[in-house]
């Protein structure tokens, strides 16, 4: 099932203005959620489901894409996408797990490529913002869209401190993904993404991250803590249901 073309659904646009370089060029199929992440959400060989509004529970073999970038710009993302996928899907070393009483709260990664990982998340957010695909209608970045574009073009992960990333991984296997939503946590604006077993919170706000996240913000100054959550007992199931309700409420299909 092809979910997107440029402009309206199913309408392929092969030439137009590239959203990144702004040049009038041939446009290529650009995945909003990198293809590797999409394929990783396959459930026992079955195509992943997309949860939200009119695509609710539809299966997709190809993922979500849009014709919005030229091939030169599309290739900029590949090293970041590849690194993030390999990094996040690597087995968790048992001695890196932090927890007590047989409950795992997080795991710590001491060595990682901060720039590549942060640029992956920032470029992912930007792609979700500029696409016309209705799955991402909830992403409205306003002035932050231009800031992200500049960070991508200059490959500068720290050009602006408005963006902070918190990564969570579910201990249970969850297939598919759902529409991202914007939400406030302690009054601060975040976007929440679910892709398979991963949940990413991206702060889009000039104000500092709420204290509860201070130890697990993606930073080049300390090891990275990736939160671990049991889907059934950690409250994540409730959060996912609330996210789905919010996504359905906010989406305006095209």
Q: How far is the CB of 75 from Zn ion (least distance, A)?
A: 10
**95-101, long-range: CB within 8 Å, 24+ apart, which pairs?**
97/228, 98/225, 99/228
Q: How far is the CB of 193 from Zn ion (least distance, A)?
A: 24
**Helices 143-154 and 114-130: crossing angle, nearest 10°?**
140
**Which residue, 70 or 244, is less far from Zn ion as judged by CB?**
70
* Residues found near Zn ion in the complex (CB under 5 A): 18, 20-21, 70, 73
The pairing of strands 103-109 and 224-229 is: antiparallel
**Which residue, 64 or 70, is less far from Zn ion as judged by CB?**
70
Torsion from C-alpha of 120, 123, 128, 130, nearest 10 degrees: -170
**Which residue, 20 or 125, is less far from Zn ion as judged by CB?**
20
CA distances from 214 to 121, 156, 208, 209 (A): 18, 22, 9, 7
- What tokens does 156 get? 């500068």
Q: How far is the CB of 102 from Zn ion (least distance, A)?
A: 51
Q: How far is the CB of 69 from Zn ion (least distance, A)?
A: 6
**Which residue, 21 or 239, is less far from Zn ion as judged by CB?**
21
**Which residue, 47 or 152, is less far from Zn ion as judged by CB?**
152
Q: How far is the CB of 26 from Zn ion (least distance, A)?
A: 10
Instruction: Give the CA angle between residues 44, 47, 49 to the nearest 5°.
Output: 110
């Amino acid at each position: 099932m092809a979910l997107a073309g440029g402009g309206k659904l199913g309408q392929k646009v092969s030439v137009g203005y590239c959203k990144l370089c702004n040049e009038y060029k041939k446009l290529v199929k650009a995945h909003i959620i990198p293809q590797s992440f999409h394929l990783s959400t396959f459930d026992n060989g079955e195509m992943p489901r997309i949860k939200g509004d009119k695509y609710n529970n539809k299966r997709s073999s190809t993922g979500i894409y849009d014709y919005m970038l030229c091939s030169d710009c599309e290739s900029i993302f590949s090293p970041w996408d590849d690194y993030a996928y390999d990094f996040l899907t690597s087995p968790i070393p048992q001695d890196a797990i932090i927890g007590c009483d047989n409950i795992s709260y997080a795991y710590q990664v001491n060595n990682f490529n901060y720039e590549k990982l942060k640029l992956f998340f920032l470029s992912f957010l930007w792609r979700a913002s500029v696409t016309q695909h209705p799955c991402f209608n909830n992403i409205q970045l306003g002035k932050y869209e231009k800031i992200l574009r500049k960070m991508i073009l200059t490959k500068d992960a720290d050009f602006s401190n408005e963006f902070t990333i918190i990564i969570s991984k579910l201990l249970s296997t969850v297939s598919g993904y759902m529409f991202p939503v914007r939400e406030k946590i302690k009054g601060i604006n975040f976007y929440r993404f679910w892709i398979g077993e991963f949940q990413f919170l991206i702060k889009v706000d000039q104000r500092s991250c709420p204290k509860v996240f201070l130890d697990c913000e993606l930073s080049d100054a300390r090891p990275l803590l990736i939160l671990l959550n049991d889907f059934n007992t950690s409250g994540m199931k409730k959060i996912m249901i609330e996210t789905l309700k919010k996504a359905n409420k906010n989406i305006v299909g095209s």
